[in-house]
Amino acid sequence: MSGSEKRLAWITGGSSGIGLAAARELAGAGYAVALTGRREQALQSACAEIAAAGGSASYAVADVSSAEQVKRAHREIVDRCGPVSVLVNSAGFNIPERSWSTLVSEGFDEAIAGNVNGSLYAILEVLPGMRAMQDGLIVNLISGAGRYVWPGAGPAYTTAKHAVFAMTSSLNMEEARNGIRACALCPGEVDTPIMDARPQPPSEDQRSRMLSAKDIGTFIRYIAEAPPTMNFTEVVIMPTGHVRKDG
């Protein structure tokens, strides 16, 4: 299959963590992958790694919290690679203030911009092309904190991810008739670099019992390769042995 014939997967937050794992897996499945992130050097390294493994990869630098930057990145990607068949919204982050006693409005706004707005902007860009194709898959990385309320995630992140969960449900209600599928992918704790940003980073033993980024990337590939008649509207993935404590 030549590069011009490859279906295109666009991964935001694609230079590390779950985004990079998804890019590796989708490239291995025969997709051309386009990565978006804020750090050009990291994006270049990710694309070089995928190309060295025989895949097709390109990138566009963008901060997903900026509608204009997302629009520009999408335009670059489409001009270079064609329409997006799969969108993986992996970009997102949490803030250090993870309790009501420390939360300030600026931090809350930042969490909403990076998680909710960033997902929204990319979705709005790909929908017209997917409608024209009468086909498309949107995977929103939401985390278990977007399906349940986990105190350790903090009110800002929990609120933002619950909003993306609702957005995903709304997408399926309206866009299924256009052949578009949306998945709210809700993993529990995943051992990625974002763990280092926690107020109290987990120990090596704790990390060893978490999901891996590859686990989630492999499942995203599974969704992408599933027949178009199947829609995984909501998927919760927990590490084996995880016990919920949310009541």
* Residue 83 CB partners (closer than 8 Å, separation 6+): 8, 129, 130, 132, 133
Give kind and range of the element (H or E) at residue 191: strand 190-191
121 is catalytic: no
Beta bridge partners of 37: 61
Annotated catalytic residue, options 121, 148, 157, 222: 157
Helix axes 118-133, 155-175, angle to 10 degrees: 10
Give kind and range of the element (H or E) at residue 176: none
CB 125 within 8 A of CB 69: no
Q: What is the DSSP letter of 68?
A: H
What are the residue numbers of the active site? Answer: 157
